[in-house]
Amino acid sequence: MRLRALRGAITCTEDSKAEIDAKTARLVKELLTRNEIDDDDIVSIIFTSTPDLTAEFPASAARAALGLDGVALLGAQEQAVPHGTPRCIRVLVHCYSERSRDELRHVFLDGAAALRADLADAD
């Protein structure tokens, strides 16, 4: 097993607690499922969100929805870049995995798929 980093992002349709909770849970679940990562394999997760998402912390949403009480979670705000993707949550998961870097499956969903089409796949 090696320490690996998984990336992902998803966009929200509105700035609401319910939307941020749902989209954060969907993103993290999809990332862990596609890479066959168990909770015990996760070292830490860093979340960022764009300045137009203020209704909830993505880290709080992940902790509540996925029960990640024993995992170090951190949230930060993205820069307000004029040409940036609006209402976007990004994630960086540090985890242990048997997979090589080439076998990792990064997850970019909804409007965030345009951010890294080279890393996103159609699953």
> Domain for residue 121, yes or no?
no
Give the E-state strand segments of the chain in sequence order.
Answer: 2-11, 42-49, 72-77, 88-97, 107-108
- What would the pLDDT profile of 51-67 be if each residue is shown by its tens digit? 999 999 999 988 888 88
The CATH number linked to 28 is 3.30.1330.40
Residue 100: half-sphere exposure toward Cβ, Cα within 13 Å? 2
Of 111 and 91, the structure prediction assigns the larger pLDDT to 91
Lowest mean pLDDT among 3-7, 18-22, 26-30, 118-122: 118-122
> Domain for residue 30, yes or no?
yes
pTM for the structure as a whole? 0.91
Q: What is the pLDDT of residue 119?
A: 65
Of 7 and 115, the structure prediction assigns the larger pLDDT to 7
> Domain for residue 49, yes or no?
yes
> Domain for residue 123, yes or no?
no
Q: Which is it for the CA torsion 66, 10, 91, 29, positive or negative?
A: positive
**Residue owning tokens 């242990």:** 96
> Which domain, by its residues, includes 17?
2-114
> Domain for residue 122, yes or no?
no
> Domain for residue 119, yes or no?
no
* Number of folded domains that form the chain: 1
> Domain for residue 40, yes or no?
yes
> Domain for residue 96, yes or no?
yes
Instruction: Report the DSSP pairing between strands 2-11 and 88-97.
Output: antiparallel
- Distance between CA 1 and CA 15 in Å, rounded? 38
